[in-house]
Structures are given as structure tokens and as C-alpha cells.
Structure 1
């Protein structure tokens, strides 16, 4: 998953590891392991009854001399309800029984593949998706999922072949187009990647997750403005993939959990009204489920129903006062309304209940900064970098605060540490260079080091930030002609990209360079900063 617009999403189907494809180690004629019904205590009574009934039916089919297809159906249906209830291991065993009883039924290979990919066994998943496609070469979901698995495995060429077959079957499939775009990007074909991803977004504007890959494609094409536009629109929405088999599985259980999962799938795809409807159905069965109230609040907030969202978050907290995610979401709602004091209370409550909840702690720091309490934000940002040094935003935010507080030596040392951990983060690099070039403290400035650090950016894409930082460094080195040239280029880029807020500061520094004076303000003054 980003501090300013969080949507707590639980993906039903995950992707990840990179391993070499291997065949399913359990061939069709391998001995089958018995299916053991898990402990059903704590489940809703209706769900427990469903599981026991399906288990008894599967056992009965094996002892009643039923046909292969009948036995497969009984075991497969058991696997589906087990998986829907979250019991992955016995569900996998049940699917293996079904697959052995009827090896020509695509469903059991397909469901088995999904369990294997969710549990990180990508090679086995690929083998079962491929077997499903031998049975039905035109099964669109298997083609798209096979492409996903191959792309995750580091085989973008093979993935592209699967996506191309999918697109031939469904030319308007945003999922197939998105896959082709990501595969092209992985093969360093940024031009094709951009074309595919643009087509996918035209078909499904709500698939906001694609903006990230599209931004990367435009960055590789040397178009930083369009890259920045798309990266700013990056969200959680995924392209829809019609999948009757998974949908049939999702609706099997008449429980709050089943409706929650259906809602989360709709939420991930950006279908907020559908998600809200699913969560309401779940609440009709489980009205005291704080998680469902929170999920409904998120869906309502995303659809613009601020009042309804707030009511759901408040109800979630009434039912579970220590529900940190609900405190965080309520804080986000307050921020939308510029109620920063109330937002801070909510965020601090989230951190109180979960001290290492980093999104909440970052939100505390961000809100303190908005309120002008920069010094109070510093320990929160430092704590984040201790718990998760990979969180570059916290390193950057603390560096900015130190500069705004005129604590330039600390800022220099902090950003130097940050560069060691995040050597490729240009935001940290540019801020460090600004401190070295423009800090009022002569003991902090080091123009030679500033220029040396910027050597790595000789071939970087054009941007206002790059040109402005270069101008500062050249001015500190006394090379005012080059400083003026780069500052003018920074102003031109700012005008082209609509960054009008920067105009006064840029013009002020240009006048300095034209008169042979270096800059002594690394960043524009922070409005409202009081320390």
C-alpha cells in the first residue's frame, strides 16, 4: 500500500515471489491425503452447518459408488466452501480429490491454482492454470492469471504471449491490456507499455493502480511531466476481470465474511457502490461486526458520502474502541474537512493502540506539520525510520522539517544518512544538495560536494526540481552564468507544468543569480511553521 488517501484493502488473491516454474508435485495418480474437517468453533452457525453438510456429502459420495463426476462435484463443492471460509489447506486437499475423480473438469485445476498462487507456490499454480487451458483454451480468466504468474516469475515474454491470447478473445479486456503494458515495461519497451496502459485506462478509468506503471513508462520515455501527472493519480483500483468461477465461490457462504470478501473485491476494483452494498448485506447478518462497519465507511468515503462514512467509523469504534484502522480512517475524514485538531486526536488514538502502526504515526507527523508544530513531528518521523528504514517518505519529511526549522547541520547529517539507505531517491538527493548549496550556515555549505552529488543526474529527465537545484549549486560555486541558465529553465518547466506556486521563489532566486549573489534559502518559507 500512502499517508494522504489510505484505503485499507485486503486482496483476496495475492501475487509475489519469483521462483522457477515447476510441475505440480502431486500428479493425478498420486495417493490422496484425507480431508480433515477443521475446528468449526467460533464460526457463524449457518457456516458451520454448511461445512458439515458438504463434508458429509463428499464422504458419502466416496462410499456410495457414485460416478467420477458426482464424486468430483461433491469434493469440489466441499473445497469451495472450505476456501470461502478461509480454510485453505483442507480446501486444497478437497480439490485434489475432485481433480482425481474428474480430471476433465477445468474448475478443480483452476481453484487449485488459485490456492497455490496465494500460498506462494507459483510454479504449481502455473502448471494448473496451463492444465485448465488444455481443457478450455479460451478460458479468459486462466489466461490472464497465467500471465500474472509468469510476469511475477520474471518471464515477461511468456506472460505477454498469454495476455495476447486473452486480448484476442476479449479485445476490450482492460485486464489483458494492462498485463501487456506491464509485460512491455518489464522488457524495457516503454513506448508499447504506454500505448497498452493508455488503452486500458480509457476502457476502465477507475483502474487507478495502472497510473503507476504508466508513469514509469513515461519516465522511461523522457516525459517527466506526463509521468508526474500519472503518478499523482495512482490509486488502488484494479482492472476488472469477469470471473464467474471465483464469483460463484465468493457467494457460497451466507455469512458476514463472505459478503466482506465480495465487498473488498469490489472496493479494490474501484466499484464503491457495489462494495457498500456487499458490506451492508454482511452487516444485516453480523450487525456488531466492527470490521464490516469500517469497510462500509471506507467505501462510502471513497464514493463521496462523508457523513455516512463518519457514522460508520464512529460505530466501528463504539464496538471496538481499540480498532486502530478505524481511528486512522476517521482521522483521514477530519483532514478532508480541514479539521486538523480532531484529525490529530484520531491519529494519536491509532498510534496509542498500535505504537508501530506506521501509516498512523506518519499521519500524526503530517498533521503536526500542517498545524505548524514541526518540532513535535520530528520524533514520530524518526521512530518510523527506526522501525522501517525502507520508508523513504519519513526520511524525506524529517529532512524537510529540519530545514524549515533552520537546523541545517542536523538536516545535512540526517539527509546524508538517508542517502546511504536510499541512494536512488532523487528527492533526498536534491534536498541534501540544497542544504549544502544554500544553508545560511557557512559551516554547513559545501558547494564542491553539492556539484559532485549532482554528477549522477547529468542524464536525468528534465524537471523544475532538478534545474532549480543545479542553479543553487552553481551559484554557490560562483558560476552564476550557469546558475542563471538553469534557473530560467526551472521557471520555464514550472510554467509548462502549472506549478505556479513556485513562481515567486524562483523569480527571487533568479534575480539573486543575475546580480551575482548565491541563494541562502534552501526551501521556500513554510507557511505557518512555528516549531
Structure 2
């Protein structure tokens, strides 16, 4: 987590009524694949061999208890399956797959073990096997919509677009018939529309893809992947302003995804007692802008493992965002006590100090990060920003150049180096760096494009200046950047009068 200085037998219920799905011909075909795969082995798979020392101390006892229980009750599908669940929650997917297969040999018509097996097969990239397994699960329990959605996803991933589309359509039509729409229903609809959009995009029907993506984001406005798909569809349709608008929304919610009611997967997650799981949740919450909730997950991770340095490092920034500098500094001190040679600790502390306008102390923190890791592009950039404040332009430019050497697409470093070069009269070199700030497009692009236009104006290239400043105006309008827009309008009027 770096900061940068920046100018759940189970039926799925819908509205209190179980929705019955017809079993599609595609599912029947897939079942034949499942039985073909299953017939390849008539013996129960052995339990996986575990090396308990490979598990963190905080979870080792939990894994060992589940393993011992499975060994003592090796003909009990529940015991074997539970071991698979424990391994699943700690991302040991290949070993979990073995356990789920053994549980299915003991209990062949278990929806639960089929669903879990199909899930881990998909994670492992075995999409054809996953689709066959999930097809049997859907036949046993057609009311469990998460299984329908996972089946559609595996079909798409294995190139079976028509079959995938058919299942997404079944889910969509069923949710449309629900009398009382809960958030769970709307989230399920959103994912179904998103899946349909992906199918249409893969078929190069961009108009239909855009319509499905649009419906997905109407149902769940923070659906990052759907905003991204919609942006690409609008781009291909030549609707640039709309593409920019949804690209900006994607940048804001890159990991945003509709939370689905999936009690079976919820049961897997509830088994996770590890600090790393809390850390993972915390990072996801921070990306979603839920800072207080992210802090709570990081603190839970530290309750389990006080030596988890990444949690301390992240909390420096998180508490800084809430203006709680004392708590942020406490975690900085804890981090460097565990490992004083963790460059990110010093970097994040420097960012905290910049927020407090303690620029000299911030420069020292960034310098310390560079002593530990001289290839730390962000630290070079931020140290350059500090010395530039003091008028040391050549030194700042050198750090911006090193940042670019280590991270060639580092837009901020290109931008700040371009500014210095422009100030020094090195206009062509400045323009070369400004041009490298234009991709990928996001809410920073209008400002970068404006700077590029201004640089062209300075060289006397009025035509290029007007071209890029007009482009900046179009994007500033799309992103709703009114303050920047007023500056652009002012300069554009001057240029157009000449």
C-alpha cells in the first residue's frame, strides 16, 4: 500500500421465494463431461501430505486438527471435506481439490463438495473441469445462484460463449421476476449483466456490450470492472466523452464488485483465522475508500501477529489519511523496531510528514528509504519534490530521471521533470516527457494534457497548443474538473484570438 504525493443442504433465496431454473441442454452436455472425467478414477484420492511447519504458527494447530480428524475419519465425507475447506481458506487450492474429490467419492451427490471442487478448479485454471463439476452442482441445486454464475464464468473462460450467455440470461430473467428486490437480488442481476456484457464484447457486439455494462453499473454504481468494460465499449463506439467518464469511475473503484450472498463461500472465509487474511481484507477496503474499516482489519491482523510488519507499514498511511498523526507515528516506530531496513516504512513516514508540512523531516525519511533501496522510484520522485521546493532544480531533475529509469511509465516523474526542463528552456525535451504522461487516461490526464498544450504554446507551435488544450478541455468536462476547466478556457481564448 503506497501513497504518493499528488498536486453461504443450502438454497439461495430471492424475495422469500425459491426460483426454479430450467436445466439447459448445455448443462446436460457438461454433465456427460463430468462423468467422463470421474470415470477416470474409481479409487478415492489419498489425503494430501502436509508439512505443518509450512503454516504460520497462528493457523498451524487449526490445520493439524482438521488433518488429524480427516485421518481418523477417512470414510467420513464431512471430515475430509472440512479439511479441504481449511486448506481452501488458506489458498492451498491443489490440496483442497484432492480433499474435495475424496469427499465426493464418499458422498457423490453432495452439492456442497461439488460447488467447492468446481470453485477451486476454476481458481487453478482448470476451467473445462470446473464447468463440468459446476454443471452437476447446478443440476442438484438450481436455486443456488452463485453456482450458476460461477458456471457461466468457467464456460466463458473455456471459450463456450453461447453456453455462458444462456446461463447468464437465465439468471437475469429469474431475478427480473422477483417481486421484492433486495440488495442481494440487485447485486446478482448486476453480475449477470456484467457477464452478458463480457460475452457480447468477446463477440465484438460493442453496442450490446455497452447496454449490458450500463445496466450493471445502474444496479451497482461502484462496479469497477463494469465501468472499465463500459469505457472500452464506448471508446470502440466512438463516444469519447462517455468513455472518459466511465474510465474515471473505474479509476475510483478499480476493485469494486457487488457483494454476493454466497453462504458456502462465506463458510470458507469464516475458517480463516490468519493475520494475512485480515491484512488482505484491509488492503481491499482501503482501495474501496473505506479507511476506518481498513484500519480495523489491519489492527485485527496485529492482534494475531504483532510482528506483521506490513500491517504496521500500511497503518502509517491509513492513520495519516484520517489525520491521526500520533497513531501513524506509533506504527512507524513499531515497524522500524521490527526491521529498520524496510524502505517502505520510511517512505510512508515521509508521506505522513509531507501531510504535516514538515518538509525537511520528510526529505530525510525519503532519503533513508533511498539508502535502503536506491531503486525506489517513488522515493526518488518524492525526494526530488522536496529539494525542488528549495530551488535545487538540477538535483530534483536528477532524482526525477532516476525515478523514470526505474519506472519508465512513471507519469508524475515525467511531468515534474518536464516542468523543470521547460523552466530551463529545454522545450523539446520537456515536450517529450509531457507526451509520456498522456497514457493511460484517467482523471489526471486533463491536467497533463493542459501542461503539454502550454509547452507547445511556449515554443510557438500554436496549432499543437490549441489541439492539446482543446483535448484537455474535453476531458476536464468529462471528469467534472471545473476549476481546471476555467483555466483551460481562459488560455484557449487567448490562443484562439491570435
Give TM-score scaled by structure 1 length. Answer: 0.67
Root mean square deviation of aligned Cα: 4.7
Aligned mate of 2:331, from 303, 309, 312: 312
CA distance in 2, matches of 1:373, 1:178: 52
Q: 1:267 to 1:142 in 2, by over 3 A?
A: farther
Q: Could you tell me which residue of structure 1 aligns to residue 258 of structure 2?
A: 239
1:396-475 paired onto structure 2 within 5 Å: 398-412=417-431, 418=436, 434=453, 437-440=456-459, 469-470=466-467
CA distance in 1, matches of 2:305, 2:415: 43
**1:359-389 Cα shifts (integer Å, max 9, x gaps):** 5555555666677655444444444554454
Report how far residue 75 of structure 1 moved: 1.5
The SS at the match of 1:223 is helix
Q: Could you tell me which residue of structure 2 aligns to residue 510 of structure 1?
A: 493
Report how far residue 326 of structure 1 moved: 3.6
Q: Could you tell me which residue of structure 2 aligns to residue 27 of structure 1?
A: 38
Report how far residue 105 of structure 1 moved: 1.9
Give TM-score scaled by structure 2 length. Answer: 0.70
CA distance in 2, matches of 1:284, 1:386: 40
Where structure 1 has 5 or more consecutive residues not aligned to the other structure, the ranges are 7-20, 452-467, 473-485, 517-531
1:167-316 paired onto structure 2 within 5 Å: 167=172, 168-169=174-175, 172=183, 173-174=186-187, 176-178=189-191, 180-181=193-194, 183-184=196-197, 186=201, 187-189=205-207, 190-201=210-221, 212-213=228-229, 216=232, 221-224=239-242, 226-227=245-246, 230=249, 233-261=252-280, 263-264=282-283, 272-295=291-314, 307-316=326-335
Report how far residue 136 of structure 1 moved: 1.9
Report how far residue 200 of structure 1 moved: 0.7
More helix by share: 2
CA distance in 1, matches of 2:132, 2:475: 54
CA distance in 2, matches of 1:157, 1:298: 46
CA distance in 2, matches of 1:405, 1:133: 67
Q: Is contact 2:190-2:258 (8 Å) kept?
A: no
CA distance in 1, matches of 2:496, 2:123: 58
Q: 1:267 to 1:35 in 2, by over 3 A?
A: farther
Q: 1:362 to 1:307 in 2, by over 3 A?
A: same
Number of corresponding residues: 452
Q: Could you tell me which residue of structure 1 aligns to residue 69 of structure 2?
A: 57
CA distance in 1, matches of 2:474, 2:142: 56
- 1:89 corresponds to 2:91: no
The SS at the match of 1:103 is coil
Where structure 2 has 5 or more consecutive residues not aligned to the other structure, the ranges are 7-29
